[in-house]
């Protein structure tokens, strides 16, 4: 085959492909032609285009069912988190001091299979806030929720001396633009339980509520 013939074949194939893409109903009235067109099928010989399309549709159907199942699972998890968050916020609004807030957080947030630890830290002076920054670095300074692996020193500062290295979600809460009076933290012994893909919408909302309460409760 000459180079010119090869070039012509390539052009013809491109034109055919473009034509079929522009006319997806081309085979609608040409069922006999469809049955005569075959495609390679691994070690099983050739199959008709109709059979290949049917196989592709079955595969796509299975994929869509899996996607639907994943969406359903995510929706159910979000509904559970929303219910938990709503109940927790209602409880927080009835708290009269820090001790009650801590108790309420433990009662609600430790219900999750992910959370092995829950902690809240108030910083009543610059020294306490500086200590948090020394131990946690950028995690303590950020106004955005952190979610990911935590070293042992970070876990132990947040959750106590017995906490091993793991992962967690940490967010600062504020009662004014000038200060960051505390941190709310969730932790897990599993280093992969929290990562950058973990949703932080609900825990951020809880932190904002605690920040608002802090300005009214003071150091009680």
pLDDT in tens, 131-164: 999 999 999 888 889 999 999 999 999 999 999 9
How far apart (Å, rounded) are the C-alpha atoms in residues 120 and 117?
10
In the chain, where are the structural domains located? 97-217
Q: Which pTM value belongs to this model?
A: 0.65
Query: Could you tell me the fold of the domain covering 97-217?
Result: Beta-Lactamase (3.30.450)
Higher pLDDT, 183 or 28: 183
Cα–Cα distance, 143 to 173 (Å, whole number): 8
Nearest in space to 216 (alpha carbons), one of 181, 178, 187, 185: 181
State the sign of the Cα–Cα–Cα–Cα dihedral 121, 99, 163, 199. negative
CA 198, distance to chain mean position in Å, is 4
What's the pLDDT score for residue 178?
45
pLDDT value, residue 124: 86
């Amino acid at each position: 085959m000459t180079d010119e013939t090869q070039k012509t074949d390539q052009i013809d194939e491109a034109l055919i492909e473009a034509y079929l893409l522009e006319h997806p109903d081309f085979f609608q009235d040409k069922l006999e032609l469809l049955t005569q067109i075959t495609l390679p099928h691994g070690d099983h010989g050739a199959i008709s285009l109709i059979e290949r399309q049917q196989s592709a549709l079955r595969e796509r159907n299975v994929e869509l069912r899996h996607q639907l199942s994943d969406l359903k699972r995510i929706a159910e998890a979000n509904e559970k988190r929303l219910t938990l968050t709503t109940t927790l916020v209602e409880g927080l609004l009835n708290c009269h001091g820090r001790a009650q807030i801590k108790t309420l957080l433990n009662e609600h947030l430790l219900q999750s299979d992910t959370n092995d630890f829950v902690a809240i830290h108030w910083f009543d002076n610059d020294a306490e806030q500086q200590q948090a920054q020394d131990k946690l670095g950028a995690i303590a300074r950020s106004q955005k929720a952190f979610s990911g692996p935590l070293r042992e020193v970070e876990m132990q500062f947040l959750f106590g001396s017995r906490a091993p290295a793991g992962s967690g979600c940490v967010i600062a809460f504020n009662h004014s633009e000038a200060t960051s009076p505390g941190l709310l933290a969730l932790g897990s012994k599993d280093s992969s339980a929290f990562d950058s893909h973990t949703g932080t919408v609900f825990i951020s909302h809880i932190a904002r509520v605690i920040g608002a309460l802090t300005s009214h409760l003071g150091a009680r």
